[in-house]
Amino acid sequence: MTRRGQIVFFVPALGVFLLFFLLPATATLWDSVHSFRGETPRFVGALYYRHALGDPEFQRALLNNLIYLGWTLLFEVTVGLFLAVALERENRLNRFLRVVFFAPNVLSLVVVGLVFGFLFKDGVGVFPGLLRSPRALLTISVISGWTYCGFYMVIFLAGLSQVPREVLEAARLDGAGPWQAFWRIKLPLLREVLYVALLICFTGAFKAFDLFWVLAPNQPETEIVSTLLVREVIQFDNKGYGSALAVLLTLMVLLTTAAILGARRLWLGARTGGTVHA
């Protein structure tokens, strides 16, 4: 391909990056150091950032994010892993069940939230009260797990398909049962797939928004950073503080991603450093 042809392919991607990422990010960063309380924006420096670090609402929202992360590791990644192991064998029933468990993943989270919100609505719902404190955060986490466990199931199924059949057959001939084969052979060989799943789960937990906004608005016990910043901008017309929270949330996602990527060599090094025993 000629240099001119390379530029032709590069320019649209650059335009999308500038229009939908760099410009909004720059505008948000600019807004976060300005106050919009008066007729014209007023520079306030790091005032909103200092306020956020000491804000009890922000601290509570961040704690809720971390609790939600813990639940998603259980209901999404762990359940997805065991579903993949349970449905690994190729037959009609397992193929049907894979579709059933993956189907919620293609639904909009807003639609999922509206449906479950009606089911759990006080007075008319089938299971009223589950979205009231203190059960609301756990309920939302379970709904998120129901939605996404099929996604992680597919990831782990792809990893399990790469496990050498001859190794499993040799382990079976040596007397290894299903649990031993999973724990000592399959799981160590799934380290790289598990690493990717954890990366997706960690970053996704900090970017969650839809289910919380639809299912449990105006509940301090379910307030997370993303809903708090939207509320600051929309409900309280505090654009500067909301933008500062958005910058902090972005930094948390980037730092989490960088930490997980930095631990990749250590994580995958354990795979090559150990010996798999059947």
Which tokens go with 270?
């354990």
19 domain-assigned:
no
Q: What share of the chain is helix, strand, coil (3-state, %, to 5)?
A: 75, 0, 25
Whether residue 244 is contained in a domain is answered as yes
Q: Which element (helix H / strand E) includes 49?
A: helix 47-53
| Per-residue pLDDT at 1 exceeds 80 | no
Q: Which of 147-151, 173-177, 214-218 has the lowest mean pLDDT?
A: 173-177
Task: Name the residue among 260, 81, 264 with its Cα closest to residue 187.
Answer: 81
Structural domain includes residue 138 = yes
- Please say if the pLDDT value at position 97 is more than 90: yes
26 is a domain residue:
no
Domain with 200 in it: what CATH number?
1.10.3720.10
The pTM score is 0.86
Is 120 among the domain residues?
Answer: yes
What is the number of structural domains in the chain?
1
Summarize pLDDT for 16-71 with one digit per residue, the tens.
888 888 898 899 999 999 998 877 889 999 999 999 999 999 999 999 999 999 99
In a domain, 32, yes or no: no
Helix (H, G, I), strand (E, B) or coil at 277: coil
- Structure tokens belonging to residue 246: 């958005």
What confidence score (pLDDT) does residue 69 get? 95
pLDDT band at 6 (very low <50, low <70, confident <90, very high): confident
Residue 17, domain member (yes or no): no
* H-run or E-run covering 96: helix 92-102
CA distance 63 to 101: 30
Note down the domain range covering 205: 58-273
Beta pairing partners, 132: none
> What does the pLDDT look like over 168-208, one tens digit per residue?
888 888 777 778 888 888 888 888 899 899 999 999 999 89
Mean pLDDT of the chain: 88
Q: Which residues of 52-81 are buried (b: 16+ CB within 10 A; e: fewer)?
A: beebeebebbbebbebbbebbbebbbebbb
Residue 36 located in a structural domain: no
